[in-house]
Amino acid sequence: MRAGAAEQQPTDALTAARVGTADGGSIGADVPGCLDCGACCFSKASDFVKVSGYDYSRLGNRAASLVTWRGNRAFMRLEDGHCAALVIDTQSGQFRCKIYDKRPEACRALARGSGECAAEREAKGDRPPVALRLAREEAEPTASES
């Protein structure tokens, strides 16, 4: 989710920020809210979400823990198959970006409801629900612990 998903903003603000597609059209009812989707923040590719020098500077003191390097090129670090900045909220079931205001340009450029958004959901839409289920299982005390 790059331009799109995982915002820290309240759902209302997120919805307001996504009222149109990149070409100014309206978003179909079949497109989920980014907080309920999160698909584009998942990846298995080591070059997922390029981090430019400007992006790195904007991340400030969070850059060192969230960015990984391949030679002299920087990318968002992956963790458990998704961007390390993605927070899976087991209570609400939502997917939030903990650096939303400081997210890289690549994330800002992916507009909810765009063709790229549809491709991300088609390719990876099955991953967020699985990750949420696993996170909830991990968060719940086992029978022997309760």
Residue ranges that bind ligand SF4, judged by CB under 6 A: 1-2, 4-6, 31-32, 34, 37-41, 49, 76, 83, 85-86, 97, 99, 103, 107, 110, 112, 117, 120-121
**How far is residue 61's CA from residue 6's CA, in Å, rounded to a whole number?**
20
Task: Output the smallest distance, CB 53 to ligand SF4, in A.
Answer: 16
Q: How far is CA 98 from CA 6, 13, 66, 101, 141, in A?
A: 8, 15, 11, 8, 25
Task: Output the smallest distance, CB 16 to ligand SF4, in A.
Answer: 14
- Give the DSSP letter of residue 142: P
- What would the two tokens of residue 28 be? 């179909």
Nearer to ligand SF4, 74 or 120 (CB): 120
Nearer to ligand SF4, 32 or 93 (CB): 32
Nearer to ligand SF4, 8 or 134 (CB): 8
**How far is residue 127's CA from residue 43's CA, in Å, rounded to a whole number?**
9
The residue number whose beta carbon is nearest to ligand SF4 equals 4
